[in-house]
Amino acid sequence: MADSLVNVIFDVVDLALDVSEVIDRTKQLSKPDTVEVPPDPKPLPAAAQRALAEAEQRERKRDQPDLAASGTD
């Protein structure tokens, strides 16, 4: 008799855990998918834009001799 009572208790606990797991899965499925969107980039100040333009111009000038040299081979 004690064995059958222990089995019933284990079956009830097992059923309770199964129900709890189903509830957790249902909660997870009901959550909407969230997508994090980065904030809009702030425009650069005028001084930073000038510095960036100058750096790009220097880089273009530096790369031009490399292109000319590679074309003569």
pLDDT tens-digit readout, 21-48: 999 998 888 777 788 888 888 898 999 9
CA 2/CA 56 separation, integer angstroms: 85
In this prediction the pTM is 0.40
Mean pLDDT of 12-25: 94
pLDDT tens-digit readout, 48-64: 999 999 999 999 998 88
Could you tell me the CA-to-CA distances from 27 to 17, 40, 59 in Å, in that order? Answer: 15, 33, 55
> Would the pLDDT of 2 be above 90?
no
| Boundaries of every domain in the chain | 1-33+42-64
How high is the pLDDT of residue 19?
95
